[in-house]
């Protein structure tokens, strides 16, 4: 049994996991957010850019990447939280840049608004024959 790397943090909230012993037990949870820790998102082999999102070629596929699993190849990765945080930060920047329309509402452009006003002014019966 070894103590966890002092740089090891929870994949979900970023809380320090330095007090834990390695290897992590299958049902080990973060004391701060109670997220399960023996999960793909915290593993050294986790990578969304490869098949099955795992760089370990002989590991069995795990469908749910945020639930505790029985993978024998699991190795905790110190940078797991920063990658999650970076993805969420990037998503937020994209939404700020391009905006995020409400799910049920249509985007009204100035051209659409002008067309509606013209149709109201001239009777708006569509194309004439």
Domain assignments of the chain as residue spans, ordered by start = 1-120
Q: What is the mean pLDDT of the chain?
A: 82
pLDDT of residue 109: 77
Res. 127: pLDDT tops 60: no
Res. 8: pLDDT tops 80: yes
- pTM beyond 0.85: the answer is no
In this prediction, residue 75 has a pLDDT band, given cuts at 50, 70 and 90, of very high
pLDDT of residue 73: 94
Res. 19: pLDDT tops 90: no
CA distance 99 to 107: 11
Please give the share of the chain, as a percent, with pLDDT higher than 70.
81
pLDDT tens digits, 35-73: 999 999 999 999 988 989 999 999 999 999 999 999 999
């Amino acid at each position: 049994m070894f103590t966890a790397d002092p740089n090891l943090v929870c994949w979900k909230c970023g809380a320090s996991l330095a007090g834990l012993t390695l290897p992590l037990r299958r049902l080990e949870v973060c004391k701060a957010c109670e997220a399960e820790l023996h999960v793909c998102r915290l593993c050294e082999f986790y990578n969304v850019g490869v098949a099955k999102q795992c760089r370990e070629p002989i590991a069995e596929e795990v469908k749910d990447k945020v639930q505790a699993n029985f993978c024998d190849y699991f190795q905790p990765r110190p940078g797991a939280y920063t990658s999650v945080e970076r993805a969420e930060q990037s998503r937020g920047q994209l939404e700020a840049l391009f905006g995020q329309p409400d799910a049920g509402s249509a985007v009204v452009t100035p051209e659409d608004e002008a067309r509606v006003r013209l149709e109201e002014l001239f009777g708006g019966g569509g194309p004439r024959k």
